[in-house]
Protein backbone atom coordinates (compact mmCIF):
# COMPACT_ATOMS: atom_id res chain seq x y z
CA UNK A 1 0.00 0.00 0.00
CA UNK A 2 2.82 2.43 0.89
CA UNK A 3 4.52 1.82 -2.43
CA UNK A 4 1.26 2.78 -4.20
CA UNK A 5 1.12 6.05 -2.21
CA UNK A 6 4.77 6.90 -2.91
CA UNK A 7 4.51 6.10 -6.61
CA UNK A 8 1.24 8.00 -6.88
CA UNK A 9 2.85 11.06 -5.33
CA UNK A 10 5.77 10.80 -7.76
CA UNK A 11 3.39 10.54 -10.74
CA UNK A 12 1.51 13.64 -9.53
CA UNK A 13 4.84 15.45 -9.05
CA UNK A 14 5.90 14.64 -12.61
CA UNK A 15 2.48 15.51 -14.05
CA UNK A 16 2.45 18.88 -12.31
CA UNK A 17 5.86 19.77 -13.74
CA UNK A 18 4.96 18.60 -17.25
CA UNK A 19 1.64 20.47 -17.26
CA UNK A 20 3.45 23.57 -16.03
CA UNK A 21 5.86 23.41 -18.98
CA UNK A 22 2.96 22.99 -21.43
CA UNK A 23 0.97 25.84 -19.86
CA UNK A 24 3.93 28.21 -20.24
CA UNK A 25 4.11 27.31 -23.93
CA UNK A 26 0.30 27.71 -24.31
CA UNK A 27 -0.75 30.19 -21.58
CA UNK A 28 -4.30 30.65 -22.89
CA UNK A 29 -5.13 26.96 -23.27
CA UNK A 30 -7.00 24.69 -20.89
CA UNK A 31 -3.63 23.32 -19.77
CA UNK A 32 -3.04 26.51 -17.74
CA UNK A 33 -6.13 25.89 -15.60
CA UNK A 34 -5.39 22.17 -15.30
CA UNK A 35 -1.78 22.90 -14.34
CA UNK A 36 -2.84 25.30 -11.60
CA UNK A 37 -5.39 22.81 -10.27
CA UNK A 38 -2.88 19.94 -10.18
CA UNK A 39 -0.26 22.17 -8.52
CA UNK A 40 -2.67 23.16 -5.75
CA UNK A 41 -3.79 19.56 -5.17
CA UNK A 42 -0.16 18.38 -5.09
CA UNK A 43 0.80 21.04 -2.56
CA UNK A 44 -2.15 20.13 -0.33
CA UNK A 45 -1.22 16.46 -0.66
CA UNK A 46 2.33 17.20 0.47
CA UNK A 47 1.18 17.69 4.07
CA UNK A 48 -0.32 14.21 4.62
CA UNK A 49 2.72 12.85 2.78
CA UNK A 50 5.01 14.59 5.26
CA UNK A 51 2.91 13.22 8.13
CA UNK A 52 3.33 9.74 6.67
CA UNK A 53 7.09 10.20 6.35
CA UNK A 54 7.29 11.20 10.01
CA UNK A 55 4.90 8.50 11.21
CA UNK A 56 6.64 5.42 9.80
CA UNK A 57 10.13 4.42 8.78
CA UNK A 58 8.83 2.37 5.84
CA UNK A 59 8.44 5.40 3.54
CA UNK A 60 11.64 5.84 1.41
CA UNK A 61 12.69 9.30 2.59
CA UNK A 62 15.49 9.80 0.06
CA UNK A 63 12.75 9.71 -2.60
CA UNK A 64 9.92 11.62 -0.92
CA UNK A 65 11.81 14.36 0.95
CA UNK A 66 13.47 15.87 -2.16
CA UNK A 67 10.04 16.21 -3.79
CA UNK A 68 8.53 17.78 -0.66
CA UNK A 69 11.45 20.17 -0.31
CA UNK A 70 11.18 21.24 -3.94
CA UNK A 71 7.45 21.91 -3.65
CA UNK A 72 7.78 24.06 -0.53
CA UNK A 73 10.80 25.92 -1.88
CA UNK A 74 8.70 26.66 -4.97
CA UNK A 75 6.01 28.27 -2.78
CA UNK A 76 8.56 30.60 -1.20
CA UNK A 77 10.04 31.49 -4.60
CA UNK A 78 6.56 32.24 -5.99
CA UNK A 79 6.05 34.84 -3.24
CA UNK A 80 9.13 36.77 -4.32
CA UNK A 81 8.22 40.02 -6.17
CA UNK A 82 9.82 39.27 -9.53
CA UNK A 83 9.20 41.79 -12.37
CA UNK A 84 6.24 40.82 -14.54
CA UNK A 85 8.39 39.98 -17.58
CA UNK A 86 10.56 37.64 -15.48
CA UNK A 87 7.73 35.61 -13.89
CA UNK A 88 7.07 33.35 -16.95
CA UNK A 89 10.77 32.51 -17.19
CA UNK A 90 11.03 31.67 -13.48
CA UNK A 91 7.89 29.53 -13.69
CA UNK A 92 9.12 27.74 -16.82
CA UNK A 93 12.56 26.97 -15.39
CA UNK A 94 11.09 25.72 -12.09
CA UNK A 95 8.72 23.37 -13.93
CA UNK A 96 11.52 21.98 -16.11
CA UNK A 97 13.67 21.40 -13.02
CA UNK A 98 10.73 19.65 -11.35
CA UNK A 99 10.44 17.17 -14.22
CA UNK A 100 14.21 16.62 -14.22
CA UNK A 101 14.22 15.99 -10.46
CA UNK A 102 11.45 13.40 -10.83
CA UNK A 103 13.33 11.64 -13.62
CA UNK A 104 16.57 11.65 -11.61
CA UNK A 105 14.87 10.10 -8.57
CA UNK A 106 13.35 7.35 -10.74
CA UNK A 107 16.70 6.67 -12.43
CA UNK A 108 18.70 6.68 -9.20
CA UNK A 109 16.37 4.83 -6.83
CA UNK A 110 14.21 2.62 -9.04
CA UNK A 111 13.67 -0.69 -7.23
CA UNK A 112 14.78 -3.92 -8.93
CA UNK A 113 12.00 -5.39 -11.05
CA UNK A 114 9.93 -2.17 -11.04
CA UNK A 115 8.97 -0.37 -14.23
CA UNK A 116 9.20 3.38 -14.87
CA UNK A 117 5.44 3.64 -14.35
CA UNK A 118 5.86 2.68 -10.67
CA UNK A 119 9.59 2.74 -9.96
CA UNK A 120 9.66 2.79 -6.15
CA UNK A 121 9.14 0.23 -3.42
CA UNK A 122 8.42 0.73 0.28
CA UNK A 123 11.05 -0.24 2.79
CA UNK A 124 10.71 -3.38 4.88
CA UNK A 125 10.11 -3.44 8.62
CA UNK A 126 7.46 -2.65 11.20
CA UNK A 127 4.97 0.01 10.21
CA UNK A 128 4.59 1.53 13.67
CA UNK A 129 7.22 2.27 16.34
CA UNK A 130 6.00 4.64 19.06
CA UNK A 131 9.45 6.18 19.59
CA UNK A 132 9.78 6.97 15.89
CA UNK A 133 6.22 8.36 15.68
CA UNK A 134 6.72 10.55 18.76
CA UNK A 135 9.90 12.07 17.34
CA UNK A 136 8.12 12.52 14.02
CA UNK A 137 5.20 14.32 15.65
CA UNK A 138 7.45 16.87 17.37
CA UNK A 139 9.44 17.31 14.17
CA UNK A 140 6.21 18.01 12.26
CA UNK A 141 5.20 20.70 14.78
CA UNK A 142 8.60 22.37 14.53
CA UNK A 143 8.56 22.19 10.73
CA UNK A 144 5.04 23.67 10.62
CA UNK A 145 6.08 26.56 12.87
CA UNK A 146 9.14 27.29 10.75
CA UNK A 147 7.01 27.14 7.59
CA UNK A 148 4.40 29.53 9.01
CA UNK A 149 7.07 32.02 10.11
CA UNK A 150 8.77 31.82 6.71
CA UNK A 151 5.47 32.33 4.85
CA UNK A 152 4.61 35.29 7.10
CA UNK A 153 7.90 37.09 6.44
CA UNK A 154 7.79 36.27 2.72
CA UNK A 155 4.26 37.70 2.55
CA UNK A 156 5.37 40.76 4.51
CA UNK A 157 8.27 41.34 2.10
CA UNK A 158 5.96 40.91 -0.90
CA UNK A 159 3.41 43.43 0.42
CA UNK A 160 6.12 45.96 1.22
CA UNK A 161 7.78 45.56 -2.18
CA UNK A 162 4.57 45.87 -4.21
CA UNK A 163 3.46 49.02 -2.33
CA UNK A 164 6.81 50.77 -2.24
CA UNK A 165 6.98 50.24 1.53
CA UNK A 166 3.74 52.11 2.24
CA UNK A 167 2.05 48.97 3.60
CA UNK A 168 3.82 46.83 6.20
CA UNK A 169 2.68 43.56 7.71
CA UNK A 170 3.65 43.10 11.36
CA UNK A 171 2.82 40.26 13.77
CA UNK A 172 0.34 42.50 15.62
CA UNK A 173 -1.33 44.17 12.64
CA UNK A 174 -1.18 45.87 9.26
CA UNK A 175 0.53 49.26 9.23
CA UNK A 176 0.34 52.08 6.71
CA UNK A 177 3.16 54.58 6.32
CA UNK A 178 3.23 58.35 6.01
CA UNK A 179 6.38 59.88 4.51
CA UNK A 180 7.28 63.55 4.65
CA UNK A 181 9.27 65.23 1.87
CA UNK A 182 10.80 68.71 1.93
CA UNK A 183 12.20 71.08 -0.66
CA UNK A 184 13.10 74.46 0.76
CA UNK A 185 10.19 75.67 2.93
CA UNK A 186 7.68 73.36 1.18
CA UNK A 187 6.59 70.04 2.67
CA UNK A 188 4.53 67.25 1.09
CA UNK A 189 3.15 64.44 3.25
CA UNK A 190 2.19 61.21 1.53
CA UNK A 191 -0.13 59.34 3.90
CA UNK A 192 -1.01 55.77 2.97
CA UNK A 193 -4.71 54.98 3.25
CA UNK A 194 -6.96 51.95 2.80
CA UNK A 195 -10.69 51.52 2.29
CA UNK A 196 -11.34 49.80 5.62
CA UNK A 197 -9.44 50.27 8.89
CA UNK A 198 -9.97 51.13 12.53
CA UNK A 199 -11.60 54.48 13.34
CA UNK A 200 -8.49 55.39 15.36
CA UNK A 201 -6.36 55.07 12.24
CA UNK A 202 -8.40 57.65 10.34
CA UNK A 203 -8.43 60.00 13.35
CA UNK A 204 -4.62 60.19 13.28
CA UNK A 205 -4.23 61.14 9.62
CA UNK A 206 -4.28 64.93 9.94
CA UNK A 207 -1.32 66.65 11.62
CA UNK A 208 -1.85 69.53 14.00
CA UNK A 209 -2.55 72.67 12.02
CA UNK A 210 -0.05 75.55 12.26
CA UNK A 211 -1.33 79.01 11.22
CA UNK A 212 2.23 80.03 10.33
CA UNK A 213 2.40 77.24 7.73
CA UNK A 214 -0.72 77.19 5.49
CA UNK A 215 -1.69 73.64 4.60
CA UNK A 216 -3.99 71.97 2.11
CA UNK A 217 -5.37 68.42 2.08
CA UNK A 218 -5.70 66.90 -1.40
CA UNK A 219 -8.53 64.38 -1.22
CA UNK A 220 -8.93 61.11 -3.09
CA UNK A 221 -12.27 59.97 -4.45
CA UNK A 222 -13.58 59.49 -7.99
CA UNK A 223 -16.67 61.65 -8.55
CA UNK A 224 -19.63 60.86 -10.81
CA UNK A 225 -21.11 64.22 -11.78
CA UNK A 226 -22.90 62.75 -14.80
CA UNK A 227 -24.23 59.71 -12.91
CA UNK A 228 -22.58 57.30 -15.37
CA UNK A 229 -22.39 54.62 -12.69
CA UNK A 230 -26.16 54.79 -12.15
CA UNK A 231 -25.62 54.64 -8.37
CA UNK A 232 -23.37 51.56 -8.68
CA UNK A 233 -20.67 53.13 -6.51
CA UNK A 234 -18.06 51.04 -4.75
CA UNK A 235 -19.16 50.78 -1.14
CA UNK A 236 -16.92 49.07 1.40
CA UNK A 237 -19.31 49.52 4.34
CA UNK A 238 -20.61 45.96 4.11
CA UNK A 239 -17.08 44.49 4.18
CA UNK A 240 -16.03 46.81 7.00
CA UNK A 241 -18.97 45.79 9.19
CA UNK A 242 -18.25 42.14 8.54
CA UNK A 243 -14.83 42.59 10.18
CA UNK A 244 -16.05 45.15 12.74
CA UNK A 245 -14.01 47.93 11.15
CA UNK A 246 -14.80 51.34 9.71
CA UNK A 247 -15.14 52.08 6.00
CA UNK A 248 -13.08 55.10 5.01
CA UNK A 249 -16.17 56.78 3.56
CA UNK A 250 -17.92 56.42 6.95
CA UNK A 251 -15.01 57.68 9.04
CA UNK A 252 -15.13 61.00 10.84
CA UNK A 253 -12.08 62.10 8.88
CA UNK A 254 -13.74 61.55 5.49
CA UNK A 255 -17.08 63.06 6.47
CA UNK A 256 -15.45 66.22 7.81
CA UNK A 257 -12.83 66.48 5.07
CA UNK A 258 -15.31 66.18 2.21
CA UNK A 259 -17.66 68.61 3.89
CA UNK A 260 -14.83 71.14 4.06
CA UNK A 261 -13.96 70.42 0.42
CA UNK A 262 -17.53 71.36 -0.54
CA UNK A 263 -17.08 74.65 1.33
CA UNK A 264 -13.99 75.28 -0.77
CA UNK A 265 -16.03 74.69 -3.96
CA UNK A 266 -19.05 76.77 -2.86
CA UNK A 267 -19.50 79.94 -0.91
CA UNK A 268 -20.35 79.64 2.77
CA UNK A 269 -23.64 81.34 2.03
CA UNK A 270 -24.62 78.30 -0.05
CA UNK A 271 -23.99 75.83 2.78
CA UNK A 272 -24.03 77.60 6.15
CA UNK A 273 -25.15 74.50 8.00
CA UNK A 274 -22.01 72.60 7.14
CA UNK A 275 -19.81 75.53 8.11
CA UNK A 276 -21.38 75.62 11.57
CA UNK A 277 -21.30 71.83 12.00
CA UNK A 278 -17.56 71.49 11.68
CA UNK A 279 -16.63 74.69 13.54
CA UNK A 280 -13.06 75.94 14.04
CA UNK A 281 -11.40 72.71 15.16
CA UNK A 282 -8.24 71.22 13.66
CA UNK A 283 -10.22 70.19 10.57
CA UNK A 284 -11.27 73.76 9.87
CA UNK A 285 -7.65 74.95 10.12
CA UNK A 286 -6.69 73.14 6.90
CA UNK A 287 -7.95 73.80 3.42
CA UNK A 288 -9.40 70.89 1.47
CA UNK A 289 -9.45 70.25 -2.26
CA UNK A 290 -10.75 67.39 -4.35
CA UNK A 291 -7.75 66.09 -6.31
CA UNK A 292 -9.20 63.08 -8.14
CA UNK A 293 -10.80 62.54 -11.53
CA UNK A 294 -14.45 62.31 -12.46
CA UNK A 295 -15.69 58.97 -13.76
CA UNK A 296 -16.41 60.62 -17.12
CA UNK A 297 -12.64 60.99 -17.61
CA UNK A 298 -12.17 57.22 -17.58
CA UNK A 299 -12.54 54.94 -20.59
CA UNK A 300 -15.72 52.88 -21.18
CA UNK A 301 -14.15 49.53 -20.34
CA UNK A 302 -12.94 50.92 -17.03
CA UNK A 303 -16.41 52.23 -16.20
CA UNK A 304 -17.94 48.84 -17.04
CA UNK A 305 -15.33 47.17 -14.83
CA UNK A 306 -16.14 49.46 -11.87
CA UNK A 307 -19.89 48.87 -12.27
CA UNK A 308 -19.37 45.11 -12.30
CA UNK A 309 -17.08 45.25 -9.26
CA UNK A 310 -19.67 47.33 -7.41
CA UNK A 311 -22.37 44.77 -8.16
CA UNK A 312 -20.12 41.98 -6.93
CA UNK A 313 -19.58 43.77 -3.63
CA UNK A 314 -23.33 44.27 -3.22
CA UNK A 315 -24.30 40.76 -4.38
CA UNK A 316 -26.77 39.19 -1.93
CA UNK A 317 -25.25 35.69 -2.05
CA UNK A 318 -21.95 33.99 -2.88
CA UNK A 319 -23.75 32.16 -5.69
CA UNK A 320 -24.33 35.49 -7.44
CA UNK A 321 -20.66 36.37 -7.01
CA UNK A 322 -19.52 33.06 -8.50
CA UNK A 323 -21.98 33.37 -11.38
CA UNK A 324 -20.52 36.76 -12.33
CA UNK A 325 -16.93 35.56 -12.02
CA UNK A 326 -17.68 32.56 -14.24
CA UNK A 327 -19.45 34.64 -16.89
CA UNK A 328 -17.00 34.84 -19.85
CA UNK A 329 -18.62 38.05 -21.11
CA UNK A 330 -18.21 39.84 -17.77
CA UNK A 331 -15.89 42.90 -17.81
CA UNK A 332 -14.04 41.27 -14.92
CA UNK A 333 -12.94 38.50 -17.31
CA UNK A 334 -11.97 40.81 -20.18
CA UNK A 335 -8.21 40.17 -20.27
CA UNK A 336 -7.67 42.75 -23.03
CA UNK A 337 -9.06 45.49 -20.79
CA UNK A 338 -6.90 44.76 -17.73
CA UNK A 339 -4.00 47.04 -18.72
CA UNK A 340 -6.40 49.84 -19.66
CA UNK A 341 -8.30 49.54 -16.38
CA UNK A 342 -5.06 49.60 -14.41
CA UNK A 343 -3.83 52.68 -16.28
CA UNK A 344 -7.10 54.53 -15.64
CA UNK A 345 -7.51 53.53 -12.00
CA UNK A 346 -3.89 54.12 -11.03
CA UNK A 347 -1.80 56.17 -13.47
CA UNK A 348 -4.46 58.54 -14.86
CA UNK A 349 -5.54 59.47 -11.35
CA UNK A 350 -1.92 59.90 -10.29
CA UNK A 351 -1.39 62.33 -13.15
CA UNK A 352 -4.34 64.39 -11.91
CA UNK A 353 -2.97 64.30 -8.36
CA UNK A 354 0.47 65.46 -9.50
CA UNK A 355 -1.16 68.38 -11.33
CA UNK A 356 -3.00 69.33 -8.12
CA UNK A 357 0.23 69.17 -6.09
CA UNK A 358 1.93 71.44 -8.63
CA UNK A 359 -1.00 73.85 -8.43
CA UNK A 360 -0.92 73.94 -4.60
CA UNK A 361 2.85 74.33 -4.11
CA UNK A 362 2.99 78.13 -4.73
CA UNK A 363 0.24 78.84 -2.18
CA UNK A 364 0.78 76.29 0.61
CA UNK A 365 3.83 75.38 2.66
CA UNK A 366 2.40 72.00 3.63
CA UNK A 367 0.52 69.67 1.29
CA UNK A 368 -1.11 66.58 2.82
CA UNK A 369 -1.94 63.70 0.47
CA UNK A 370 -4.05 60.99 2.21
CA UNK A 371 -4.39 58.58 -0.71
CA UNK A 372 -4.49 54.84 -1.25
CA UNK A 373 -1.09 53.27 -0.60
CA UNK A 374 -0.94 51.83 -4.13
CA UNK A 375 -0.74 55.35 -5.57
CA UNK A 376 2.02 56.77 -3.42
CA UNK A 377 5.20 55.12 -4.73
CA UNK A 378 4.67 56.78 -8.13
CA UNK A 379 3.99 60.15 -6.47
CA UNK A 380 7.12 59.69 -4.35
CA UNK A 381 9.25 59.12 -7.46
CA UNK A 382 7.84 62.32 -8.98
CA UNK A 383 8.61 64.33 -5.82
CA UNK A 384 12.19 63.11 -5.75
CA UNK A 385 12.49 64.12 -9.40
CA UNK A 386 11.44 67.63 -8.27
CA UNK A 387 14.32 67.68 -5.74
CA UNK A 388 12.18 66.88 -2.70
CA UNK A 389 14.07 64.94 -0.03
CA UNK A 390 12.47 62.61 2.50
CA UNK A 391 12.57 64.20 5.95
CA UNK A 392 10.55 61.82 8.08
CA UNK A 393 8.32 58.75 8.30
CA UNK A 394 5.45 57.63 10.53
CA UNK A 395 3.76 54.21 10.82
CA UNK A 396 0.09 53.95 11.75
CA UNK A 397 -1.67 50.68 12.56
CA UNK A 398 -4.71 50.29 10.32
CA UNK A 399 -5.71 46.72 11.30
CA UNK A 400 -5.18 45.09 14.69
CA UNK A 401 -4.58 41.35 14.86
CA UNK A 402 -4.55 41.33 18.68
Alpha-carbon Rg for the chain, nearest whole angstrom, is: 28
Neighbouring residues of 224: CB distance < 8 A, sequence distance ≥ 6? 233, 294, 295, 296
End-to-end CA distance of the chain: 46
- CA distances 389 to 19, 76, 187, 371, Å, are 49, 35, 9, 20
How many whole angstroms separate alpha carbon 97 and alpha carbon 41? Answer: 19
Indicate the pairing of strand 196-197 with strand 186-193: unpaired
Is the pLDDT at 350 greater than 70, yes or no? yes
Q: Look at residue 392 in the predicted model and tell me its pLDDT.
A: 93
Please name the residue ranges forming H helices in 163-251.
199-203, 237-242
Sign of the CA dihedral with 249 first, then 253, 255, and 259 last: negative
Range from 1-5, 243-247, 313-317 that averages highest in pLDDT:
243-247
In the predicted model, is pLDDT for residue 268 greater than 50?
Answer: no
Given a contact cutoff of 8 angstroms between Cβ atoms, the answer to whether 365 and 214 are in contact is yes
* Statement: residue 113 has pLDDT above 80: no
Mean pLDDT value across residues 318-327: 79
Angle at 16 between CA 93 and CA 95, to 5 degrees: 5
Is the pLDDT at 301 greater than 70? The verdict is yes
State yes or no: pLDDT of 216 exceeds 90.
yes
- What confidence tier does 275 reach under pLDDT thresholds 50, 70, 90? very low
Q: Which range among 134-148, 251-265, 284-298, 322-336 has the greatest average pLDDT?
A: 284-298
Question: Averaged over 66-74, what is the pLDDT?
Answer: 87
Please return the burial class of 369, using the count of CB atoms within 10 Å of its CB with bins 0-12, 13-18 and 19+: buried
pTM: 0.68
Percentage of the chain modeled with pLDDT above 70: 86
pLDDT band at 270 (very low <50, low <70, confident <90, very high): very low
Amino acid sequence: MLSVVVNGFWVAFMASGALGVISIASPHSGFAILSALVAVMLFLGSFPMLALVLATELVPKRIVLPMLGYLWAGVYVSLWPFPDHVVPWVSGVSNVLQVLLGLFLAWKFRAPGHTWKAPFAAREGRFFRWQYTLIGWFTLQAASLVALVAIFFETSALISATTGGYVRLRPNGLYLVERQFREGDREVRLSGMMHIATEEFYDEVLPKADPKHPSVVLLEGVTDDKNLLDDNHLDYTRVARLFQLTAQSESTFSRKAYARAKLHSHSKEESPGEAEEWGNDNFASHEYRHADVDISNLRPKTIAYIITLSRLMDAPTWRDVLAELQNPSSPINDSDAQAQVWDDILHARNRRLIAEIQSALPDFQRIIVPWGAAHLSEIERWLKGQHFVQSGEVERRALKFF
